[in-house]
Structure 1
Amino acid sequence: MTGRPAPAVLPPLLRGWLGLIAALAALVVVVLGVLYAGHSEPGGVDVWIQPVVDGVRSPWRNIALATDFWGEPAGAAALVVAALTGCLLLRHPRAAVLVVAGAGMAVGTTTLLKPLVGRTIHGGYLSYPSGHTAFFTALALVVALLATGRLSLGRTAGGSVVLAAALVAGAAMGWAQVALGAHYPTDVLGGWCTALAVTPATAWLVDRTADRLVDRVADAGRRERR
């Protein structure tokens, strides 16, 4: 069976490009994790960037706090519910699955990596990679992928939309985390790359699983008609 009940959540034109990005992002996550394993102090890059961003005052601190809220459980849940509602209204079940799976995989991966890496900030809080940044970037990637498919954008336009969404979301949440002193800049980079690594893979898995289910249902239908 070649027909699908819903369009792919990972546009075919972007699969190769996003696969390469995901592989490079995963490499960055591993390299940074090895470099900063067990550390409790900022690294060289952190020392260069952190003083410029950390310790902002009002109104920027209020903006940072508002941004941080969308990575907290209540804010994150609200974003996920809003995205799910949009997918259901558009009758795109695969997209609804990806919203939950993509965000869940990003947060779950950072949660698993933190004790493995063991990097801490402020006397014992596990910090690498940033879960807030990973979640916000992953959700932005999911929305961008859905927009790309919905609007039937080509490789160049679609790739630009996806990359821009990831950059804006990662930069916004990453800035908030560093400004509030919750993470080192390299923690934020690790969280951003985590989302870039796991979200395309999750989208591919959702498509793969949905296609197999459709084929099985079609085969069962054909057997019943015989």
Structure 2
Amino acid sequence: MLPPSLRVGLGLTAALAALVVVVLGVLYAGHDEPGVVDRWIIQPTADSVRPPWRNAALATDFLGEPAGAATLVVAAVTGCLLLRRPRAAVLVVVGAGMTVGTTTLLKSLVGRTIHGDDNLSYPSGHTAFLTALALVVALLATGRLGLGRTAGTSLVLAAALAAGAAMGWAQVALGAHYPTDVLGGWCTALAVVPATAWLVDRLADRLADQMPDRMADAGRRERR
């Protein structure tokens, strides 16, 4: 799931993304108001959400809600299995789960809120989820198309940017998150998914290496 040609580039991207997540988390820990950069972006974005754009924002937001997210995951897993890519199916579930789990943990640690003390906002789980799913799909496409380092990295990052921008716009426009929350969610997915893909590959390769030995042992037992 993580082609060798992409490992260095995406590894560096993941490290940089993780650094951004940590820096923003430290800067906004315990805050309950938008920062300076947030204020520059919030009002123009909110002004853009008028019919029919509000409906588009609500539809995009739904993709990050439990029902919408579950539908996307089931569709993605089904597609991976139809294409006979079980590793990709595993990565859809594990990658999305790890990404959302990381954002949930970070929200508790950072403690940034919006619209009241009960609404933890950093990083955006909606943005992280959709970006993570886009990354997995792009990694699958890169492998199937046999893309090289430049083309493959460009496709993966472009997919992540498109998904993150769409969900990020919806979250800020609907007042669910600050822009820096969105950036944190996007970077969380960029940090978690490549590492998870590498881990899935390692575990799958190890299981594949062990299968011949297990089959040989089974054959010897049958002959006895």
Pick the TM interval, shorter chain: over 0.9
| 2:199 corresponding residue in structure 1 | 205
In the alignment, what sits opposite 2:42? 50
1:116 paired to 2:116: no
In structure 2, the partner of 1:186 is 180
Q: Identity of aligned pairs, percent?
A: 81
What is the SS of the residue equivalent to 1:126? coil
Residue 100 of structure 2 corresponds to which residue in structure 1? Answer: 107
Q: TM-score, normalised by structure 1?
A: 0.94
Cα distance in 2 for partners of 1:37, 1:10 equals: 33
Q: Which residue of 2 aligns with 1:74?
A: 67
1:173 to 147, 167, 182: 167
**Candidates 74, 83, 93, aligned match of 1:90:** 83
Residue 130 of structure 1 corresponds to which residue in structure 2?
124
Q: What secondary structure sits across from 2:215 in the alignment?
A: helix
Cα deviation 1:160-185 (Å, max 9, x = unaligned):
11011000000000000000000000
> Normalization by structure 2: what TM-score?
0.95
| TM-superposed deviation, 1:215 | 1.1
Shift, 1:127, TM fit: 0.1
**In the aligned structure 2, how far is the partner of 1:225 from the partner of 1:60?**
63
- Following TM superposition, by how much is the alpha carbon of 1:222 offset from its aligned partner in structure 2, in angstroms? 4.2
**Paired amino acid for 2:87:** R
Could you tell me which amino acid in structure 2 is paired with residue 19 of structure 1? G
Residue deviations 1:33-77 (CA, integer Å, cap 9, x gap):
000000000011101111110252211111100100101011100
Aligned counterpart for 2:33 among listed residues 26, 41, 46 = 41
Which amino acid in structure 2 is aligned with residue 85 of structure 1? T
Q: Distance in 2 between matches of 1:187 and 1:224?
A: 53
Q: Which amino acid aligns with 2:35?
A: G
Q: Which amino acid aligns with 2:147?
A: L
Q: Root-mean-square deviation (CA), in Å?
A: 1.1
CA distance in 1, matches of 2:212, 2:149: 31
Count of residue correspondences: 218
Residue 24 of structure 1 is matched in structure 2 by: 16
Q: Which secondary structure state, in structure 1, belongs to the residue aligned with residue 177 of structure 2? A: coil
Q: Secondary structure at the match of 1:121?
A: coil
Letter in 2 for 1:43: G
Q: Which residue of 2 aligns with 1:3?
A: none
Question: Gapped runs of 5+ residues in structure 2?
Answer: none
| Aligned-residue offset at 1:218 | 2.0
Identify unmatched segments of 5+ residues in structure 1: 1-8
One-letter amino acid of the counterpart of residue 32, structure 2: S
Return the alpha-carbon distance in structure 2 between the equivalents of residues 50 and 225 of structure 1.
66
Deviations 1:127-149 (A, max 9, x none): 00000000000000000000000
Q: How many angstroms apart in 2 are the aligned matches of 1:141 and 1:209?
A: 20
Q: CA deviation at 1:216?
A: 1.4
